[in-house]
């Protein structure tokens, strides 16, 4: 019988709390496969998906590979875990390579033959049925894996496909991603979700200085993230009047810093209103003027009740771009539609701002009114994973 063998990684480290993480992972797997015909089984250290429609196998595999918490999967043949049944299936294998090895794992230690001895026996059967093939223990072209589990089944496969890894989505709580139209913030959302944080998102737009196409671009980025996080509640807030006030009343070199401090204040309020436990940004240390150590200290300092997570902090741009391409957001991110961060850009933004100078610049603004007026413009869009 054809089956898909699923493995998880970090959950092994969770000790007495492991059952909580496993329950979340199982729920996420079943949710991802909603609408598919399948049966799901847990056996110690593994999960098994079986009884699915053969023509849906590739689609099911693609969906499983987007589940955070799964480390790898294998397409396998499931047979009864008896010496005879395993040998009978091994005898049917025809190799397209010149060399191979057999690797046996026994989760069921009651199996009557040791792993090494059984691998030798099975290797002999493969040799008998594949004339001209040789055994190669160190660098085989094909590895025939035999995984004997406690559910009295054995799984035979020749490939292991890597999955997302990380922790089950939702196991680390919920946070708010500051989502621009650039390359970095969608990657930050993906990486923090990989650590188990379920995300909502906040986008600032500055119509008419930014276009409807820029807003649509962000909606598309959020939709692409739904492939991994299933659903995103996107908060869209107008930042036009805030930026106009900063442009009129504050020194140009401090515009970006003041702008980001107000964004952080708004983000904190939205978190408080929606029971979100963290703010997530796409900042990378030193990448631009607003991401120096001093700038991040000053902009983050206005947030009093929440942590700020910066998953990209130590990554360079090439690494970030590689991940963006891998998760499918890159081509959308580079579309030439401006976001609010490009409006009223100063020629020489300050790179080492101080809190005192920022507070002095902010004293020329009616911060509470600007923030409350921006919050009143909030539009909420809920995006969900599309079953293709």
Sorted by where each begins, the domain ranges of the chain are 2-162, 174-384
Can you tell me the distance from the alpha carbon of 217 to that of 28, in angstroms, rounded to the nearest whole number? 27
Return the pLDDT at 340. 61
Answer for the pair 335, 221: CB distance below 8 angstroms, yes or no: no
- Note the pLDDT of residue 346: 73
Give the pLDDT score at 128: 96
Q: Is 51 left (phi over 0), alpha (psi -120 to 50) or beta?
A: left
User: Which CATH code, of 3.40.50.970, 3.30.70.141, 3.40.710.10, 3.30.2130.30, is assigned to 2-162?
Assistant: 3.30.2130.30
C-alpha separations of 163 from 67, 72, 79 in Å = 7, 5, 24
CATH code 3.30.930.10 for 174-384: no
For residues 92 and 174, what is the distance between their CA atoms, to the nearest angstrom? 50
The tens place of each residue's pLDDT in the chain, 388 residues long, gives 999 999 998 887 777 888 899 999 999 999 999 999 999 999 988 999 999 999 999 999 999 999 999 999 999 999 999 999 999 999 999 999 999 999 999 999 999 999 999 999 999 999 999 999 999 999 999 999 999 999 999 999 999 999 999 999 999 999 999 999 899 999 999 999 999 999 999 999 988 888 888 899 999 999 999 999 999 999 999 999 999 999 999 999 999 999 999 999 999 999 999 999 999 999 999 888 778 999 999 999 999 999 999 999 999 999 999 999 999 999 999 998 776 666 667 778 898 999 999 999 999 999 999 999 999 999 999 999 987 5
Please give the C-alpha separations between residue 183 and each of 187, 190, 284, 312, in angstroms, as whole numbers.
Answer: 7, 12, 12, 11
pTM as predicted: 0.94
* Helix (H) or strand (E) run with residue 42 in it: strand 39-43
- Residue found by looking up tokens 């099975």 in the block: 122
Residue 339's pLDDT is 67
Nearest CA among 269, 273, 262 for reference residue 365? 262
| Model pLDDT, residue 364 | 95
């Amino acid at each position: 019988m054809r089956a898909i063998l699923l493995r998880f990684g970090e959950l092994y480290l969770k000790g007495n709390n492991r059952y909580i993480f496993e329950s979340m992972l199982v729920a996420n797997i079943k949710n991802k496969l909603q609408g598919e015909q399948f049966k799901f089984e847990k056996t110690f250290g593994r999960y098994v998906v079986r009884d699915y429609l053969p023509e849906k196998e590739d689609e099911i595999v693609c969906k499983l590979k987007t589940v955070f918490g799964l480390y790898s999967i294998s397409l396998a043949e499931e047979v009864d875990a008896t010496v005879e049944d395993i040998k009978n299936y091994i005898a049917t294998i025809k190799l397209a390579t010149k060399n191979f090895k057999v690797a046996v794992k026994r989760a069921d230690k009651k199996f009557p033959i040791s792993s090494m001895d059984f691998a030798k026996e099975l290797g002999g059967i493969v040799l008998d049925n594949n004339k001209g093939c040789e055994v190669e223990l160190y660098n085989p072209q094909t590895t025939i894996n035999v995984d004997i589990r406690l559910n009295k089944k054995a799984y035979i496969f020749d490939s292991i496909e890597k999955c997302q890894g990380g922790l089950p989505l939702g196991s680390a709580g919920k946070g708010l991603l500051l989502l621009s139209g650039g390359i970095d913030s969608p990657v930050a959302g993906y990486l923090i979700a990989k650590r188990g944080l379920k995300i909502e998102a906040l986008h600032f737009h500055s119509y008419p200085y930014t276009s409807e196409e820029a807003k649509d671009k962000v909606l598309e980025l959020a939709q692409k993230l739904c492939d991994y996080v299933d659903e995103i509640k996107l908060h869209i807030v107008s930042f036009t009047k805030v930026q106009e006030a900063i442009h009129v009343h504050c020194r140009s070199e401090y515009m970006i810093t003041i702008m980001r401090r107000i964004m952080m204040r708004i983000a904190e309020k939205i978190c408080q209103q929606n029971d979100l436990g963290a703010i997530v940004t796409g900042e990378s240390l030193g990448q631009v003027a607003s991401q120096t150590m001093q700038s991040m200290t000053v902009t983050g300092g206005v947030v009093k009740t929440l942590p700020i997570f910066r998953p990209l902090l130590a990554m360079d741009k090439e690494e970030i771009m590689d991940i963006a391409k891998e998760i499918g957001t890159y081509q959308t991110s580079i579309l030439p539609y401006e976001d609010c961060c490009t409006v009223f850009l100063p020629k020489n933004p300050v790179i080492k701002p101080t809190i005192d100078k920022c507070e002095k610049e902010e004293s020329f603004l009616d911060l509470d009114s600007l923030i409350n007026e921006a919050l009143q413009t909030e539009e909420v869009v809920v995006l969900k994973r599309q079953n293709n």
